Structure 1
């Protein structure tokens, strides 16, 4: 089976059914990050409903992320073997049913089960959506298409706490009802194409040295750059005295900048090459992280943290573009994404204790780790030039 390559951006010409499928392809990038973060701002309300503490209610975040990251190690290869269209359709249906389970959850363990099913289902959408974009997008425009997809992911992550908080004014359960409706709509939209049959690999075929280099880079750089919002929040409270709402507003700049610069990021990847784009994003991002940790001016910290959002997008889009240009695009990007989120999960365990010992060192350590990782792993050998 071959797939014709052509323009695959929302609003592109063609049959209306295809335009809907293309729009759904990109919109699918919104659902996963939104589902993962939607409970982050309503933990007290969830805890109050089930008579548990907000700390225990935070398990609703872990219940989503653990199966999401664990299954994504193999979901790309399995989904490519089963067929992207079929797999994504089933995943959206399961996600919708899991969201309904969260809506009607009568005990906290039932809510956790629904969250775990959501995370498991989403692990079978993201890598296959990325592989589909690569299959039907001309190579010279791949960066722009991946940048658009990344902007939808940033939008989901940025708006989730706000939507969850607004829903909680009536009931936090309404946020899950909305997620269910969106998942059903995406299932109806479908995919514009399946990746070619020859791109459907075995489970082990993606575990190459090349893929592991990309995945290792994503794990360290995202954990030390894109995943540091909790550390920035600590400093905003301790050094500048910001309230929780003020901290949340400033941190939103990270996602907003990622959305606003999506097309520019894609253009940059297409014109300078994905490896160079990821390397520049990581090195400049390392400098930004160090400055965020030491500058005494609140406005400067806010501006730099927003810039970190754009730079992290350059890294993510660059790494995805490299992974998707290999022989096993679905499996490779699946491994890269899985380790990226693993880095975000491990990051607080590494840097929060260090912050309590030395706040400045807690920012300098991830900055150094980011720069060194980019210099060592993002070399020309075995990766696309540029």
Structure 2
């Protein structure tokens, strides 16, 4: 009895996505958010260790985000030019050294400098890992692979405060010891990609297209709006609805795991539906679901609603990363890093716009943030206007399942 082709395809796909060859990509996706958000739950320990104010400690997060976002405008192109393998390895080594700097810093100034260096290293990691993943996964299954990668990112972001908080029971520096060790291990397994010297080097010019500009707008508006709305949920629960910090943290942790759980499903839907239908559908759904969140004035209703909505919101970043990975095949890293740069700028700007409105006008804050999804929707429509709504050739419903 012969094995049906569909069964063989499913087996090969599962095997390819779950081998030791691809695991470092996904672990790298987990490490980035852990390093980024590790300081959130150790503000008191940092204040006490370095004798600084909460405002100063805030820079341990902003000082990481800002250089990372700025450098991401070009980090992917640099990585493609000098070789993904070489640049990713160097980025992980820098990340490990910077983590050691966080452990050994005798004062807050040096700790902040180490955090800046961590941000510089992370600017190269995610775009080059996804670009490398796109080279080893066949196109018909790339959506699923990016979905799994996004799931690891989601659980990393959700687990980061828990990991550093647990380390703080003994010494908060232990969190950075672990982060540094993982980075060193990943430096031994960088993605493939050799340097492209002279004329074959990927230039910036191919990124200056209508499609890429649309993806930049989509990333910025989504991050400042619906996919960044978790920050508003956290502040609203804590300050507007008088929920304790520990309970708020638990709710946000559970919502992160819900996003992680569905990320592979979103990737499979991209493979099954095609890029245009998946992108437009995701932006439409999250806009409708996030706009009315400010109408909920009970924490016990908002908590389960947000856990469910957060899982659906995760469909948008999966689409963003997938579209960036296929937009410029000759410079995947550059396309991915530039889109991520605009996304991180959006995450930085969104709270500055909407959080001040929460105290007196939560409906306006959530409504305005959610309504930015309409901009994302329009940008997705432009970015995918030449794509059909059907899956690419070679994808079957069975293979996508």
TM over 0.5: yes
Output the aligned Cα RMSD: 2.3
Q: Cα gap change, 1:204/1:247 in structure 2, threshold over 3 Å: closer, same or farther?
A: same
* Counterpart secondary structure, 2:213: helix
1:329 lines up with 2:332 in the alignment: yes
Q: CA deviation at 1:309?
A: 2.5
Q: Is the 8 A contact 1:278 1:316 kept in 2?
A: no
How many pairs align?
376
Q: In the alignment, what sits opposite 1:35?
A: 35
Q: Is the 8 A contact 1:323 1:329 kept in 2?
A: yes
1:169 lines up with 2:166 in the alignment: no
Q: Is the 8 A contact 2:251 2:303 kept in 1?
A: yes
Q: Is the 8 A contact 2:28 2:125 kept in 1?
A: yes
Q: Distance in 1 between matches of 2:349 and 2:89?
A: 31
Query: 1:345-380 CA deviation, whole Å, 9 max, x = no partner?
Result: 001111112223411111111122212431354246
Q: In the alignment, what sits opposite 2:4?
A: none
Q: Return 268-277 or 148-157, whichever deviates more.
A: 268-277
Q: In the alignment, what sits opposite 1:73?
A: 73
Q: In the alignment, what sits opposite 1:269?
A: 270
Q: In the alignment, what sits opposite 2:286?
A: 285
Query: 1:33-79 CA deviation, whole Å, 9 max, x = no partner?
Result: 11110001101110110101122111100111111111011000010
**Map 1:227-238 → 2, pairs under 5 A:** 227-238=228-239
**Map 1:129-148 → 2, pairs under 5 A:** 129-148=129-148
Q: Return 375-384 or 87-96, whichever deviates more.
A: 375-384
Q: Distance in 2 between matches of 1:113 and 1:219?
A: 27
Q: Cα gap change, 1:376/1:163 in structure 2, threshold over 3 Å: closer, same or farther?
A: closer
* Counterpart secondary structure, 1:74: helix
Query: 1:312-368 CA deviation, whole Å, 9 max, x = no partner?
Result: 321111122222222332211111111011100001111112223411111111122
Q: In the alignment, what sits opposite 2:250?
A: 249
Q: In the alignment, what sits opposite 1:367?
A: 370
Q: Is the 8 A contact 1:73 1:338 kept in 2?
A: yes
Q: In the alignment, what sits opposite 1:346?
A: 349
**Map 1:80-229 → 2, pairs under 5 A:** 80-191=80-191, 193-194=192-193, 200-229=201-230
Q: Distance in 2 between matches of 1:340 and 1:238?
A: 26
Q: Return 231-240 or 357-366, whichever deviates more.
A: 231-240
Q: Cα gap change, 1:145/1:13 in structure 2, threshold over 3 Å: closer, same or farther?
A: closer
Q: In the alignment, what sits opposite 1:3?
A: none
Please report the TM-score for the alignment, with normalisation by the length of structure 1.
0.91
Please report the TM-score for the alignment, with normalisation by the length of structure 2.
0.88
* Counterpart secondary structure, 2:170: coil
Q: Distance in 1 between matches of 2:361 and 2:298?
A: 19
Q: Cα gap change, 1:97/1:38 in structure 2, threshold over 3 Å: closer, same or farther?
A: same
For structure 2, list consecutive stretches of 5 or more residues without a partner in the other structure.
1-9, 390-401
Q: CA deviation at 1:10?
A: 8.3
Q: Is the 8 A contact 2:87 2:124 kept in 1?
A: yes
Q: Cα gap change, 1:276/1:38 in structure 2, threshold over 3 Å: closer, same or farther?
A: same
Query: 1:284-322 CA deviation, whole Å, 9 max, x = no partner?
Result: 112221232112443432233223322232111112222
Q: Return 305-314 or 217-226, whichever deviates more.
A: 305-314
* Counterpart secondary structure, 2:203: coil
Q: Distance in 1 between matches of 2:117 and 2:251?
A: 32
Q: In the alignment, what sits opposite 1:56?
A: 56
Q: Distance in 1 between matches of 2:269 and 2:242?
A: 37
Q: Cα gap change, 1:324/1:376 in structure 2, threshold over 3 Å: closer, same or farther?
A: closer
Q: Is the 8 A contact 1:148 1:266 kept in 2?
A: yes
